[in-house]
Amino acid sequence: MQDRDPRRSLPRTDAVLADPRLESAASHLGRARVKRAVTEQLQALRTDVVSAGAGTDAASVVDAVLRGLPDGATSLQRVINATGVVLHTNLGRAPLSPAAVQALATAAGYVDVEFDLTDGSRARRGRGTLAALRAQVPDAEAVHVVNNGAAALVLATLALAAGREVVVSRGEMVEIGDGFRLPDLITATGARLREVGTTNRVTLDDYAAAVGPDTGCVLKVHPSNFRIEGFTRSVDVLDLATLGVPVVADIGSGLLYPDSLLPGEPDVTSALRAGAAVVTCSGDKLLGGPQAGLVFGTADVVEAMRRHPLARALRVDKLTLAALEATVDGPPSPTHRALHADPDDLRGRCERLAADLADLAEIGAEVVRSDGVVGGGGAPGVTLTGWAVALPESYAAALRSGRPPIVGRVERGRCLLDLRCVDSADDEAVAAAVRAVGAGGV
């Protein structure tokens, strides 16, 4: 029996790696990555031929390795977001527009990010991106871009209030997610928090009583991921600006100007007009761009932030600058389109998907109402009227393990596929994936 031990007939690693199909994979994934996959596959065959479930000749080993290799050299997988949550933090928040993706590719090589091609001298880093932002928000005297919204707030606090006090309402002491809390972020800069008011109510007098010679700034934080309703009162930027100290407005989600779809959502232009010295927000929330922290404000405060020693530690790379400019200057972002999707159009797409699956009677695909949400720390009270195709609950896990994975939403024992955030060009791929799961007998 020893002679029949299949372990004896396993091909050598080198022999497998020499297969042209794997050489081609190595050219875009890297030789080390492919070699590791081959070693793992051979090891699996060596330890347990049956459960490795594959032939032991070189061609079969290559087949198995190719099945297990990713399409690209990143372990990140493209995911089809059928959750109806537009800014899904766990799915990478805002998807970039094709224009922004193209800008990323351009910026990947050598670029004139900090170079003046006319005279060969050094030029202002990211000047095109800053100009695009200024053009969208003419009320801002100056603009700066950092790594994310939290970094923008840190830099504003450092520039205005290090060693001094930041006056903030108790109702705005927000945890942004994953255990990170804005009050901790602020005190980590060396500023002291001066809390005013109560969880549900604060008045201008509360702020006025707290403001003094030690005040660095007053901070107004938009409670972007929760809502307090009922007996509440807060003070808006317009009134805070009368206190005679700089007002920092952290609006969170990055609307540059008002959006009638999101009436409760603050925007950069309005906050500046109301008198904020600095407005900070994220690039990858409602703006629909890459992760970034945007800073708009008066020339002196923005310049103080830009020249602060820590600004260098928070600066963005050329890829972000490129994608941000393309987002701000380019066609509507996928985020914008998902937010403003026409419910009738969504319904039509869902009906076509359900009709397409009608012959799979056992899954009972059915069009149902589905309220989308903004998600990602934006517009917590807003629901977006939409539609979904309901499938048996077991489809949720099966679709997640497909290629590309499709992430639906499980609700009341059913798997809902909400097409709001699905590119209509992917509708057929969704139908095919559901069909493949059906054929697999889930």
| Residue among 97 and 224 whose Cβ is closer to ligand PLP | 224
User: Residue for token digits 């901070």?
Assistant: 219
Q: Is 144 in the site for ligand PLP (CB under 6 A)?
A: no
- Whether the Cβ atoms of residue 392 and residue 363 lie closer than 8 Å to each other: yes
Lay out the site mask for ligand PLP across 209-248 (x = CB under 6 A, - = otherwise).
------------xx-x------------------------
Would you give the DSSP letter of residue 197?
S
User: Residue for token digits 């009608």?
Assistant: 358
By CB under 6 A, the residues from 6 to 35 that bind ligand PLP are: none
- Whether the Cβ atoms of residue 373 and residue 403 lie closer than 8 Å to each other: no
Q: CB under 6 A: which stretch of 65-73, 145-153, 156-164, 396-404 binds ligand PLP? A: 145-153
Contact pick of 84, 95, 126, 149 for ligand PLP (by CB under 6 A):
149
Sequence-ordered list of residues with C-beta below 8 angstroms from that of 154, at least 6 positions apart, any chain:
185, 186, 188, 189, 310, 314
**d(C-alpha 70, C-alpha 405), whole Å:** 13
Residue 163 main-chain phi, psi, to 5 deg:
75, 0
How many degrees, rounded to 5, is the angle at CA 339 between CA 333 and CA 340? 90
**Closest to 291 (Cα-Cα) out of 190, 227, 416, 377:** 377
Please report how close the Cβ of residue 282 comes to ligand PLP at its closest, in angstroms: 3
Q: Is 250 in the site for ligand PLP (CB under 6 A)?
A: yes
Q: Is 148 in the site for ligand PLP (CB under 6 A)?
A: yes
Contact pick of 377, 386, 408, 438 for ligand PLP (by CB under 6 A):
377
Q: How many CB atoms lie within 10 A of CB 94?
A: 27
Contact pick of 126, 197, 216, 252 for ligand PLP (by CB under 6 A):
252
| Residue among 33 and 170 whose Cβ is closer to ligand PLP | 170
CA 328, chain centre distance (Å): 16
**d(C-alpha 139, C-alpha 150), whole Å:** 23
| Residue among 149 and 297 whose Cβ is closer to ligand PLP | 149
Strands (E), 95-225: 142-146, 165-169, 175-177, 180-181, 192-196, 215-221
Please report how close the Cβ of residue 129 comes to ligand PLP at its closest, in angstroms: 17
In three-state secondary structure terms, 405 is: coil
| Residue among 221 and 243 whose Cβ is closer to ligand PLP | 221
Q: Is 266 in the site for ligand PLP (CB under 6 A)?
A: no
Strands (E), 86-161: 142-146
| Residue among 19 and 250 whose Cβ is closer to ligand PLP | 250
Contact pick of 94, 137, 176, 237 for ligand PLP (by CB under 6 A):
176
Please report how close the Cβ of residue 87 comes to ligand PLP at its closest, in angstroms: 9
Please report how close the Cβ of residue 182 comes to ligand PLP at its closest, in angstroms: 6
Please report how close the Cβ of residue 155 comes to ligand PLP at its closest, in angstroms: 12
Q: Is 157 in the site for ligand PLP (CB under 6 A)?
A: no
Please report how close the Cβ of residue 224 comes to ligand PLP at its closest, in angstroms: 3
| Residue among 148 and 157 whose Cβ is closer to ligand PLP | 148
Residue 245 Ramachandran class (φ > 0 left, ψ -120 to 50 alpha, else beta): beta
Using CB under 6 A as the binding criterion, the count of chain residues that bind ligand PLP stands at 14
**d(C-alpha 371, C-alpha 345), whole Å:** 14
**What's the number of CA atoms in the CB half-sphere (13 Å) around residue 320?**
19
The residues binding ligand PLP (CB under 6 A) are 148-150, 174, 176, 221-222, 224, 250, 252-253, 282, 293, 377
